[in-house]
Amino acid sequence: MEDLNNLKSLWKSAKPVELPDAAELQQDIKDFRGTKLRNKVLTVTVAVLIVILSFAALLLAKNLWLSTQAAILLNMVACIVLAATNLRSMNRFIGLKDFSNVDFLHFLQQTQRNQIRYYKRTEVAGLTLVTASTLLFPYQFITDSLAMAIGIYTVVVGWILVLWFYIRPRSFSKHSKKLSGEIGRFESIIQQAL
């Protein structure tokens, strides 16, 4: 009998967690999709504009040194890699329409795997190209002054170090935590619904 009283007190003390209704979940999925698609469209647009402007600079600029031309080409390749990666990712998000909670959870988990692969491989390749481009580009314009060369390259190398060792890991951590929170939220919704 005492077990029954304990069970009753436990039942009365339990605070039920309200599950969001279907419309709210659909709106969350729509918001997630819209935000990601908007960011990817903006990224692709900027990357394509940079490629076009860089190509125009190569065609129109006279007397560019080989180092400057190589820097522009490396930057163009980095932008093409960025655009291609985001276009491929956009196709996944465009396909995200009306999913069940379980399907959306699987979609989020695949997004997390893609995010990790991007951080470890694609972003490293792109940033390596941008780093080489950034180091090569100012060379033509600062060869006349040693003091200017030291100053410019100090700033450039400082920026590259901040980008690689502060901004990149912090950005990944921020986005990873946000995605993990969404995954955890949908996992708890699915568990409570069962």
Dist. CA 111–CA 101, nearest whole Å: 15
The structure tokens listed for 163 are 């980008």
* pLDDT (0 to 100) of residue 5: 59
Name residue, tokens 């709106």.
27
Per-residue pLDDT of the chain (194 residues), as tens digits, is 565 556 556 555 545 556 667 778 788 888 888 999 999 999 999 999 999 999 999 999 888 999 999 999 999 999 999 999 999 999 988 888 767 778 888 999 999 999 999 999 999 999 999 999 999 998 888 888 899 989 999 999 999 999 999 999 999 999 999 999 989 988 888 887 66
Length of the chain: 194
81: Cβ contacts below 8 Å, ≥ 6 apart: 122, 125, 126, 129
**In contact, 21 and 56? CB cutoff 8 Å:** no
Residue type, 143: T
